[in-house]
Copies of this chain bind each other. A is one copy, B any other.
């Protein structure tokens, strides 16, 4: 597996593939890879003969008080995992490569970026749209693969790609979970054993809300019960449990077609998010 850190080396590698007509898939990540990321790489390998993974902890999607500085990193481990997964190239740029001197473009996302994560992390999705747009351009990939764990992010990236008519398809892979149901996340590394034991309540609460919605409960009822479950399980703060329509991410008071249940809550200083398809 090639490891490249600058745009010129990336362009050279991609050009050599494109010259022979090979399609390219990209898996954008922030590193500290787990089985969820590797499922994205596996899906990418099905979609294209050439697979690029990117590792970049993107400062433009973190607020000043967030965990940019302590975000977990293990590049040597990541490289070994990607190599074993059959990735062709790792693009691991510095901040200066992604945002070189003179960089002057920002993207502001509305629509699916509004509410939920957009309320609690106001600058995140604009940062995500910017870094993804630039990564899509630099990699010249035909398809990008994202995890459904970050469902709202997927909706935002799809929106940006459609609005800017970027020449890339977006594919998703269902969330990979631990045996007890906890969605895999790099941020799970922040959980101490006690918190890790409590964390499964997020998945359980969303499953409960899904059952209640299917039984005819309103979103307010179902999500309210899930929030109560989270607090009872030891989550100190629930940012939201919410139902959205799957197609357009619109709010809805009842399950009126394919929907998505999303939750975000704090275990001590660790913020967990998860979501489920419903209906």
- Residues of A with Cβ closer than 8 Å to B? 7, 102-113, 129, 133-134, 136-138, 140, 159-160, 163-167, 248
Contact A109 B102 (CB under 8 A): no
Set of chain B residues within 8 Å of A140, measured between Cβ atoms: 167
| Max chain B C-beta neighbours (<10 A), residue from A102, A105, A107, A163 | A105
A90 to chain B, nearest CB (A): 18
From A133, which residue of chain B is reached at the shortest CB distance? B164
Contact B134 A105 (CB under 8 A): no
- Of B113, B134, B164, which one neighbours A163 at CB under 8 angstroms? B134
- Of B105, B111, B167, which one neighbours A104 at CB under 8 angstroms? B111
A107 to B110 CA separation, bound complex (whole angstroms): 11
Known: A105-B163, A136-B165. 10 other contacts (CB 8 A): A102-B111, A104-B110, A104-B112, A105-B107, A105-B110, A106-B110, A107-B108, A133-B165, A134-B163, A137-B167
Question: Contacts A134-B164, A164-B134, A167-B140 known; A106 to B108 CB distance under 8 Å?
Answer: yes
- Of B104, B107, B111, which one neighbours A159 at CB under 8 angstroms? B104
A133 to B102 CA separation, bound complex (whole angstroms): 19
Question: Contacts A137-B164, A137-B165, A166-B137 known; A113 to B104 CB distance under 8 Å?
Answer: yes
Set of chain B residues within 8 Å of A165, measured between Cβ atoms: 7, 133-134, 136-138
Set of chain B residues within 8 Å of A103, measured between Cβ atoms: 111, 163
From A102, which residue of chain B is reached at the shortest CB distance? B111
A85 to chain B, nearest CB (A): 25
Contact B105 A109 (CB under 8 A): yes
Question: Contacts A104-B109, A108-B108 known; A167 to B164 CB distance under 8 Å?
Answer: no
Set of chain B residues within 8 Å of A134, measured between Cβ atoms: 163-165
A144 to chain B, nearest CB (A): 14
Set of chain B residues within 8 Å of A138, measured between Cβ atoms: 165
A239 to B72 CA separation, bound complex (whole angstroms): 51
A132 to B180 CA separation, bound complex (whole angstroms): 49
From A107, which residue of chain B is reached at the shortest CB distance? B107
